[in-house]
Amino acid sequence: MPSPAPITVPEKSKATKANGSDAPISYDINIPYVDVTKEFQGRTRYPQYLPTWDKMWFDPLPPFHYDDPALRVKDKSKPNLLTEGVKLSHIQPRMGTVVEGLQLSQLSDAAKDELALLVAERKVLAFPEQDLIDAGPERQEQFMRHFGKPNYQPVSGTVRDHPGFHIIHRDGNREEISRFLEQRTTTTLWHQDVSYEIQPPGYVMLGLLEGPEVGGDTVFASTEMAYKRLSPTFQAFLDGLTAVHSSQKMINHARLTGSLVRKDPVDTVHPLVRVHPVTGEKCLFLNGEFLTRIQGLKDSEQKWLLDFLMQHIVSGHDFQARVRWQPKTIVIFDNRCTLHSAIVDYLDDDYGAKLRHIFRLVALAEKPIPVHGHE
The secondary structure of 233-259 as a DSSP string is HHHHHHHT-EEEEE-HHHHHHHHHTT-
pTM for the model stands at: 0.90
CA-based torsion, 83, 329, 318, 224: positive or negative: negative
Number of domains composing the chain? 1
Task: Say how far apart CA 288 and CA 266 lie, in whole Å.
Answer: 16
Has residue 305 been placed in a domain? yes
Q: Is residue 14 part of a domain?
A: no
Residues 6+ apart with CB under 8 A from 241: 271, 272, 273, 294, 295, 296, 297
Q: What is the CATH number of the domain that holds 140?
A: 3.60.130.10
Per-residue pLDDT of the chain (375 residues; tens, 9 = 90+): 334 444 444 343 343 344 445 566 555 655 554 555 555 566 789 999 999 888 899 999 999 999 999 999 999 999 999 999 999 999 999 999 999 999 999 999 999 999 999 999 999 999 999 999 999 999 999 999 999 999 998 988 899 999 999 998 877 666 777 777 777 777 778 999 999 999 999 999 999 999 988 989 999 999 999 999 999 999 999 999 999 999 998 898 888 877 889 999 999 999 999 999 999 999 999 988 899 999 999 999 999 999 999 999 999 999 999 999 999 999 999 999 999 999 888 777 665 677 889 999 999 999 999 999 765
Residue 361, SS3?
Answer: strand
Q: Which of 372, 356, 73 is nearest to 218 (CA)?
A: 356
Q: Report yes or no on 31 lying in a domain.
A: no
- Does residue 9 fall inside a structural domain? no
CB 115 within 8 A of CB 68: no
The answer to whether residues 206 and 218 touch, using CB atoms and an 8 Å cutoff, is: yes
Whether residue 237 is contained in a domain is answered as yes
Residue 255 is predicted with a pLDDT of: 85
Residue of 308, 316, 343 lying closest to 95 (CA atoms): 316
Is residue 82 a part of any domain in this protein? Answer: yes
96, amino acid identity: G
Q: Residue 295 has what pLDDT? A: 97
Q: Positive or negative, the Cα torsion across 109, 111, 117, 119?
A: negative
Q: Is residue 12 part of a domain?
A: no
pLDDT at 73: 98
Provide the domain limits for residue 244: 38-366
Query: What is the largest distance, in Å, between two alpha-carbon atoms of the chain?
Result: 58
CA distance 251 to 270: 20
Q: How many residues does the chain have?
A: 375
Residue 22 included in any domain: no
Q: What is the pLDDT of residue 269?
A: 98
Determine the pLDDT at residue 33. 47
Q: Judge contact between 128 and 236, C-beta under 8 A.
A: no
